[in-house]
Structure 1
Amino acid sequence: MSRPRIAFVESNTSGTGRLFLAAARELGFQPVMLTSTPERYPYLSAEDCDVVTLDTSDAAALLEASRELSRRGLAGVTSSSEYFVVAAAQVAWQLGLPGPDPAALAACRDKHVQRLRLRAAGVAVPDFRGADTPEDAVRAADAFGYPVIVKPVSGSGSVGVASCSSPDGVLAHAAALLAHGVNERGQPVPRTVLVETIAQGPEYSVETFDRTVVGITAKHLGSPPYFVEVGHDHPAPLHIVQRDALAGITRAALDALNLGFGPAHTETRYTESGPAIIEVNPRLAGGFIPELVRLATGVDLVRNTVARIARQAHSCEPLHRRHASLRFLLPPAEGTLERIDGLEEAARLRGVADARMYAAVGAQLACRHDFRDRIGHVIATGATSEDAMALADRARELVRLTVARGE
């Protein structure tokens, strides 16, 4: 007798995508990938995963393919990619399967709409304004005062997010963003940008499941004017008053956005006047944060997500209390990656849970100032936050990348 299926609408290209397939199998389901481009996911060839090739931007085709799967036993539909969480939720609701409210997800994914709803509910957010033209963006920035953040209203991974310190900078960056009709997955994007004041203070993300705060992650950011995340520490070393404040504002944000089914990843800044919401993402965190949560607490958020949509038992109760830190490896320069030294030495350090490269020797490296700059990582664990952070920093320093600069 064949196993019931879990359908995944596309996937993220790094991080947890492959883990979702393994979680489905461990729970007794056969994973099925619905994708327009199977070659985007090299790991599929090594996984026991059925593949259905179709135009995943076509809602009718996606629903019909899922209905065909349901005739043979379909337990759930989801996606590990932010770009496809709405499409997956729409299919689940149309088939009567568990899932989040697709309308709530769609509103949340538009950062301007999300901000309007949060502000209307009295949830603290930076001052902001939507702009449909570069000139509108400059007028908003002039009203706020410089510097300001200019970013697309959709997207993820810090793509297109930049700090601008002058009218010319705002004009140029807004014009560049508004010139893009589609995102990196070829989906149409709104012709609006978000202009906002900069919330000063350390950055944290709050990882929730349903309405349970599973943990809080401290973020390390790269060089301004960009906001590339270059490291994470979980759990964040915070005073209980700070933890409670971050948990409280996150739950208020979920309520305001009608969220609360399964995972969410809420980015915050802790300012002088308290925490402020930067954005709520109605999905699991990227950047291997779910793996840090698992190493630090034993809570497997990937498994929980699959179990939730399949009506299986799941738990957010910690099994142990340790600390985990991740440091990403970034290109030292643009050009051809010629050598990778020290990776095995880093992996052998006691307490290092993972050390890997995503780019191979011969790869052409470019600096895009977003998540695509991350070409590897190291993850370390420890009994204390200080232990885990120090070991992760040491492991990262051991890895030496040699790049031949392009002419």
Structure 2
Amino acid sequence: MAQYNTYNHVEKIKTKDTKRYLWWLPLLVAVSPIIGIKIYEATGNPLFPWLTPILWYIFIPLGDFVFGRDDANYRDSRSEEIENDVFYKWLVFLSVPLFYVTWIYSAWWIATVASSTTAYLGVTIGVALTNGLALVVGHELGHKNNQQEKNLAKLVLAVPAYGHFSAEHNRGHHKDVATPDDPASARLGESLYKFILREIPGAFVRAFHDENVRLKRKGKSVFSIENQILQSFFITFLLYGGALYTWGPVILPFILISTLWGWQFLSTSNYIEHYGLLRQKQEDGRFERTRPEHSWNADHIVSNIMTFHLQRHSDHHSRPTRRYQVLRSDDAPQLPTGYAGCFTMAYLPFLWRKVMDHRVLEQYNGDILKANLDPKKRDALIRKYTKGDSNE
């Protein structure tokens, strides 16, 4: 069995959710572009159309630095009680219509009111980031076993036009995670931009392939009304088509930028979640089972609240149906900061590799052959790291 270095997690036990009423904050972020618009209209301050990007790229990383980490878990009996508390479930449900309200109101505002290109762009990127949060909500809902939540996942994934996510993520990524077969697992030496160009089309193709297989088993065509991916995309068509019909070409940059930047949000999350980590092959040729050491975690309080504990990613892979409020901190390797701060590092490949490559090597006690390597850089990486030179 492969040997790994993992974060030395000493389990801390808590008896109540000290963050219970902080879980409202993602709903506030979901409407933050509207808040920014209203403050801008009241004050004329040109920064406020950029409120949501400022929150994500500045204040959330700063909050992680100031407030630190929370790596405490509940006892099993208390965990079950909190998981069954409908308060947490309804917070996620309430967020779904908010994404529609934000998208429609922002589209109306930039098409009919926005007085400058910078205001247009700031609100558009703000909506792109709330689209990214919609994908986080779709991730949470799409893993549940009841039809109500699965339907809500289709509905919320229609806003960022990523209706294939649940099919691809649940049936593809969770099966192939941390292997070369997974387009959603980043490789050591692979830049974010190269990963995005591999991951987005790869995920789309895998999703439709898996949905086609599912429908064929039922004797249905991939173009059947039962195609869960097409159901979500039909809602997207109504939303985007209605906006174009109502406001005309002025809304097209808003649609393109908010959609593509929202996709980038998901791809960047995927990039940092499994970068360089690899499940080893066993004697029978199959990959070992997924364990905590195959995901990067971040127990930072602020960004975890904003992403519904997505950063406790290893426990999610172990127990995909477990609700966000009781996901556990475990022995998974730790990112240097929360997702928001890691996004900025990932945008700068030289910085990301300087911070993260040596962490990957440490996971495998310096044996680079155990890492998930970018095939085009494999020989160069082996030469570099077998010489003991990890600085770049």
Q: Does TM, scored on the shorter chain, surpass 0.5? A: no
TM-score scaled by structure 2?
A: 0.28
Structure number with the higher strand fraction is: 1
The structure showing larger relative contact order (alpha-carbon pairs under 8 Å, at least 6 residues apart) is 2
